[in-house]
A and B are shown apart, each in its own frame.
Chain A
Amino acid sequence: MSLRYRLILPLTLLLAAVMAYPLVFSAWISLHDYRLTRLYDVRFRGLDNYLYIFGDAPFLKAMTNTLMFVAGAVSLELVLGLGLALLLQRLVRFQNFARAVLLAPMFITPIAVGLMFRFMLSSELGVIPHYLRLMGLGVDWFSADLALFSLMLIDAWQWTPFMLLMFLAGLEALPRSPFEAAKVDGASPWMTFWHVTLPMLRPVILVALIIRALDAFKVFEYVYAITRGGPGDATEVILFHIYKTGFRFFRMGEAAAMAFILIAITLVLVVILYSAMQRK
């Protein structure tokens, strides 16, 4: 075997063991009525799990919630991240300090973020609702209408830094000449941004969007720490739904089928996003 393949061998073996085998096993589970409480009676169901899930209102609701969450949170982070990156670039002093602080949230464990905000946004003990009330604003952050949005805000607090990081690097790497040309032509800052900066940043934006979106599909900790999917099913997201189906109700077959549908949907989205960005 040539060196190039020998170098890959350990990785291939490891990934085969911890990923490929579980994936195949998972596919097998998804075709069976596989319940942890009835391991002695695992029946083949063919595609029944999949067919059932497509008509299952709670699953569809969880999927819708997740898609809304991903779209909302990621666009919020994109706009905020880009804005902050442009501002930070123009900051005259303390640029390094500001950057180091602003990047901090993306490194900390999401469960801590969830619990911190649960505490700070609680209608009874929270510091934020308290001062909002003093200003005459009674906001119920975790009402049926607002809860999913509040989770998006929390996600934005934690992950806007990621966008910021990517865009700062992207901006720094841009060539100087197009900006000088724009200046000579007397373009306004807004026009420069719209016609020069943004088009040149497109590859970075694409990568940042895809990485963030895929990550946002995995949202779990905020829901686990704060709303448990409630009120009603307003914040039931897909990973939480799969966790509940598999590990609280022990219906592993259905949970596995849900996971495969999730993969299919994410793949379709990545392809759409990618081709949309390429075409422009």
Chain B
Amino acid sequence: MTNTVGQSRLASLVVALVVALAIVVVLFPFLWIFLASIKPASVVALPDVWTFSPTARNWNDVLLGSDVPKNILNSLIVSVVTVSVALFTGAPAAYSFSRYKTGAGFRFTILAAEMMPPAILILPLFLILYQLGLIDSLMGVILAHLTFVVPVITWFLIGFFDDVPRELEDQAMIDGYTRFQAFYKVILPAIRPGIAAAAVFGFVLSWNDMFYALILTGGESKTLPVAIAGFWTFRGIDMGKMAVAILIAVVPILIVSFFIQKHLVRGLGGGAVKF
């Protein structure tokens, strides 16, 4: 609030009203989808029904009588494994980029990798995975997700490493640590919030992907976003059930993302912008 100039009550009110309107625009779709998930089948397709006797039928059908729980598990496995691999490979590299200013070329490569359109990778990935017998496997989706999660997480961490004062590391080495020990015993713990934010952000990216998963998965390894798309079928949209699946995919992500909002900007800047 550095540049807030004194404003009149009227101005404050106008600001509050506009922000409130924006909040309504953001929240309304969630509200409508939630209502759709508890509406009886007879009124779900009617655009003007606000009062009805709620039913848990859609929730029951989806949670107990469909493949959605399996899709959730698939999505979870894919996201967690992808993020773990990305952290193990990305964190040391990001440290190296940050501390040694290792070749601008490398840094640029990471950025270029982050920008790579999926269209160019999906064709060869599909063919390679087919040759490896990994179509319709979680392994295949994980490999595909690594292509965008690894660069993002690495880029993300560079910014956080840049913020660690050099003295911290020098002190550790005076205390008898080797440089590598200093890295994982002193520096890594120092940027723990940054790592957590990077991990959550990578998780969100992987969890939300539909493009790769649509092409690479089948009945066995289908992830949640692909399953959601499948509710729009030949028989028509089963709106109620689709609403449930959407909420299941969205709500947990909203909750975890809430905790990383603060760190997101630092990470996305990746050392390219100083705020």
The answer on direct contact between A and B (beta carbons under 8 Å) is yes
Take A112-B246, A130-B47 as given contacts and tell me if A119 and B269 are in contact as well, using a CB distance cutoff of 8 Å.
Answer: no
- Flag if B275 contacts A169 (CB, 8 Å): yes
- Whether B92 sits at the interface, judged by CB under 8 Å, is yes
For residue A4, which residue of chain B has the nearest CB? B100
Q: CB-CB < 8 A to B1: which residues of A? A: 89, 172
* Complex CA distance for A95 and B73, rounded to whole angstroms: 36
A278 within 8 A of B: no
What residue in chain A is nearest B100 (Cβ atoms)? A4
CB within 8 Å for A90 and B7 given contacts A7-B95, A8-B106, A14-B89: yes
A15–B3 CB distance below 8 A: no
Q: Is B62 an interface residue (CB 8 A)?
A: no
Expressed in whole angstroms, the minimum distance between the Cβ of A80 and any Cβ of chain B is 9
Whether the Cβ atoms of B128 and A127 lie closer than 8 Å is no
Is B56 an interface residue when CB atoms closer than 8 A count as contact? no
Residues of B within 8 A of A238 (CB): 119
A8 touches B26 (CB 8 A): no
User: Across the interface, do B2 and A174 meet the contact criterion of CB distance under 8 Å?
Assistant: yes
Question: How near does chain A come to B212, taking the closest CB pair, in angstroms?
Answer: 11
Question: What's the minimum C-beta distance from B140 to chain A, rounded to whole angstroms?
Answer: 11
Cβ of B204 < 8 Å from any Cβ of A? yes
Cα-based distance from A87 to B95 in the complex (angstroms): 37
**Which chain B residues lie closer than 8 Å to A67 at the CB level?**
none
Contact between B128 and A8, CB atoms less than 8 A apart: no
Chain A 91-131, CB-CB to B under 8 Å as 1, else 0, gives 11100001111111101111111011111100011110111
B23 near A10: Cβ-Cβ < 8 Å: no
**Chain B residue contacts of A116, Cβ below 8 A:** 29, 32-33, 246
Closest chain B residue, CB of each to CB of A260: B120
User: For residue B124, which residues in chain A have a CB less than 8 angstroms away from its CB?
Assistant: 21-23, 25-26, 29, 256
Also in contact, A203 and B229, with CB within 8 A (given A87-B18, A179-B2, A260-B120):
no
Residue A218 is within 8 A (CB to CB) of chain B in the complex:
yes
Cβ-based interface call for B123 (8 A): yes
B48 part of interface (Cβ distance < 8 Å): yes
Chain A residues whose C-beta falls within 8 Å of the C-beta of B144 in the assembled complex: 18
A249 to chain B, nearest CB (A): 13
Measured CB to CB, the nearest residue on chain B to A108 is: B250
Contacts of B215 in A (CB 8 A): 243, 247
Number of A-B pairs whose CB atoms are under 8 Å? 265
Closest B residue to A129 using CB positions:
B47
Partner of B275, one of A23, A157, A170: A170
A138 CB, nearest partner CB in chain B, Å: 14
Interface residues of A in 118-149 (CB under 8 A from B): 118-120, 124-127, 129-131
Q: Judge whether A109 and B207 touch: CB under 8 Å.
A: yes
- Interface residues on chain A, number (Cβ under 8 Å): 98
From A51-59, A71-79, A220-228, the one touching the partner chain is A220-228
Q: Beyond A172-B275, A214-B115, A266-B117, is A14–B210 a contact (Cβ under 8 Å)?
A: no
Q: Is residue B261 within 8 Å, beta carbon to beta carbon, of the partner chain?
A: yes
Q: Which residues of A contact B26 (CB under 8 A)?
A: 101-102, 104-105, 157
**B22 interface residue (CB < 8 Å to A):** yes
Q: Is the CB of B210 within 8 A of A100?
A: no
Contact across chains for A189 and B45 when beta carbons are under 8 A apart: no
Q: With A11-B90, A100-B258, A174-B2 known to touch, is A23 a contact of B121 (CB < 8 Å)? A: yes
Least CB distance from A203 to B in Å reads: 6
Q: Is the CB of A7 within 8 A of B119?
A: no
In the complex, which residues 226-252 of chain B have their Cβ closer than 8 Å to any Cβ of chain A?
228-229, 231-232, 237, 239, 242, 246, 249-250
User: Residues 201-238 of chain B: 1 if any A CB is under 8 Å from the residue's CB, otherwise 0?
Assistant: 00010011111001100000000110011011000010
CB under 8 Å from chain B, chain A span 222-277:
224-225, 238-239, 242-243, 246-247, 252, 255-256, 258-260, 262-263, 266, 270
B81 contacts the other chain (CB 8 A): no
Is the Cβ of B22 less than 8 Å from the Cβ of A102?
yes
Q: Which residues of A contact B116 (CB under 8 A)?
A: 19, 263
Asked if A25 and B250 make an inter-chain contact with CB atoms under 8 angstroms apart, the answer reads no
Asked if A87 and B117 make an inter-chain contact with CB atoms under 8 angstroms apart, the answer reads no
25 contacts between A and B (CB under 8 A): A5-B102, A8-B93, A11-B90, A18-B147, A19-B116, A19-B121, A25-B127, A92-B12, A103-B261, A109-B224, A109-B228, A109-B249, A111-B229, A115-B229, A120-B29, A125-B47, A130-B48, A131-B47, A179-B3, A238-B119, A239-B118, A239-B119, A243-B122, A247-B126, A259-B119
Q: Which residues of A contact B (CB under 8 A)?
A: 3-5, 7-8, 10-12, 14-15, 18-19, 21-23, 25-26, 29, 84, 87-93, 98-105, 107-113, 115-120, 124-127, 129-131, 157, 165-166, 168-176, 179, 183, 189, 192, 197, 203-204, 207, 211, 214, 217-218, 220-221, 224-225, 238-239, 242-243, 246-247, 252, 255-256, 258-260, 262-263, 266, 270
